[in-house]
Amino acid sequence: MSNQNTNTYRILSDMVDSLTDSDIRKIAGLINKKINQGEKIFNLTIGDYNPKVFPIPQEFTKEVYNAYLEGHTNYPPIVGEAELRKTLSKFILERENLEYSPDEFLVGGGGRPLIFTYFISCVNPDETVVFPVPSWNNNYYAHIVKAKMVIIETRPEENFMPMAELIKPFIKDASIIAMCSPLNPTGTVLQKENLTNLCNLILEENTRRKKINVKPVYLMYDQIYWLLTYKNYKHYNPVEINPEMRKYTLFVDGMSKYFAGTGIRVGWGFGDDEVITKMKALFSHMGAFPPKPEQIAASRYLANKEWVDSYINNFKEEVSKRLFKFYDGFMNLKSKGYKVNAIEPQAAIYLTVQFDLIGMKKPDGKIIESTEDITAYLLDEAKVGLVPFSAFGSLNNPTWYRLSVGTCTLDEVSEILYNLESCLSKLT
């Protein structure tokens, strides 16, 4: 009550009062305003899908319906339906060669409750969280647990993936290292050698800590896009690389991204029994679990290899056609002398693109001076909404952007490239 009469008077906890909404949502808000005013905008900002372009698997929908008709409407177990956890255990064994028992899973309402649980479970206030940028939302989770943040800036030369050497100086103080591969926002993957080096760093540090009786550093490994890799790019996981990492790896996964199911809210996490068991009580009090009919449907759907393979094959094909069409388009613009660039698509639903436009003059005579100016120019002139990497915490890469293909048709790709060329050609 001591600050009641000052300007800093707060009605909620300091943490919540100072927690801000995601910058991506703010940009999406601006775009929606334009759309509501009747403008035709190509909104490539959101890590979401247009269900008319990318519907969820039909068989899953039918199973949800069946589960309701069968009357599965009472509480599911707090950690997730037993059948679903059994199915998930088989799913990752068959597809990732990972051995985790059903008891080593937590089923949540999407991936977010798992991330939340891991941060709260591993990090005391004032302890250190290490994460690379650009990356998705780690800053907000670090804020929630009142952690110190060590932010690792990455570079286009390494496809915006953090090299283990950059993390090394900070590992001694870290409680959690938050990694994501395939990475949102870049659509790139961690290379095997780099992940191996990171695992070695963590194992070495935890050997040191064990001797002095200090709690270990954990690797949160968010692989929520992992079934979407293209060409020869492969998804690696830390435990496959080094089985000793089992004790220290906390996986995030779910149906949101590779089944276009962002709205169905079925996610899961898994990790070593010792740590997952301790997280169960926290998880139970959060109660952030998916509806029981969805859990039953997810179990029936994921257990059917044919359904899953056929959906994923088609989905990957459709997403990658768009990503490569955009990529080829950007390379074509680059070859014509426009100041753009892109990184070849590796995974997920994102393309990393650059508009190196700072210092150029717009048709109105004004100079483009900042990321905000680039974003606004693309939106106003090309009617294209993109998210700058600054919205993912990166300050060193002011001209790089995430382009998401989850809402666009193949025909629209041509239209968008045409608009971009026309708006770039007006700059001098």
Ligand X SMILES: Cc1ncc(COP(=O)(O)O)c(C=O)c1O
Q: Name the closest residue to ligand X (Cβ).
A: 110
Task: Give helix 292-302 / helix 305-335 axis angle, nearest 10°.
Answer: 90
CB of 262 to ligand X, least distance (A): 5
CB of 36 to ligand X, least distance (A): 24
Query: By CB neighbour count within 10 A (0-12 exposed, 13-18 middle, 19+ buried), where does 207 fall?
Result: exposed
Nearer to ligand X, 203 or 405 (CB): 405
Nearer to ligand X, 333 or 347 (CB): 347
- Dig out the tokens for 322 from the structure: 């768009």
CB of 4 to ligand X, least distance (A): 37
d(CA 386, CA 370): 15
CB of 135 to ligand X, least distance (A): 8
Give every CB contact of residue 15 below 8 A, 6+ residues apart in sequence: 143, 144, 146
**Which segments of 106-191 does DSSP mark as H helices, in order?**
112-122, 138-144, 164-167
Nearer to ligand X, 138 or 390 (CB): 138
DSSP class of residue 367?
B
Nearer to ligand X, 159 or 256 (CB): 256
CB of 34 to ligand X, least distance (A): 23
Residues in contact with ligand X by CB under 6 A are 47, 110-112, 136, 180, 184, 222, 224, 252, 254, 256, 262, 267
Nearer to ligand X, 159 or 206 (CB): 159
- Dig out the tokens for 83 from the structure: 């059948």
Nearer to ligand X, 180 or 378 (CB): 180
d(CA 252, CA 194): 20
CB of 220 to ligand X, least distance (A): 10
Question: Sign of torsion, CA 313 315 318 321?
Answer: negative
Nearer to ligand X, 265 or 300 (CB): 265
Nearer to ligand X, 206 or 262 (CB): 262
Task: Give helix 273-286 / helix 112-122 axis angle, nearest 10°.
Answer: 110
**Is residue 361 within 8 Å of 427, Cβ to Cβ?**
yes
**Is residue 98 within 8 Å of 245, Cβ to Cβ?**
no
Residue 363 neighbours by CB distance under 10 Å? 11
Pairing of strands 218-222, 128-133: unpaired
CB of 367 to ligand X, least distance (A): 34
CB of 329 to ligand X, least distance (A): 24
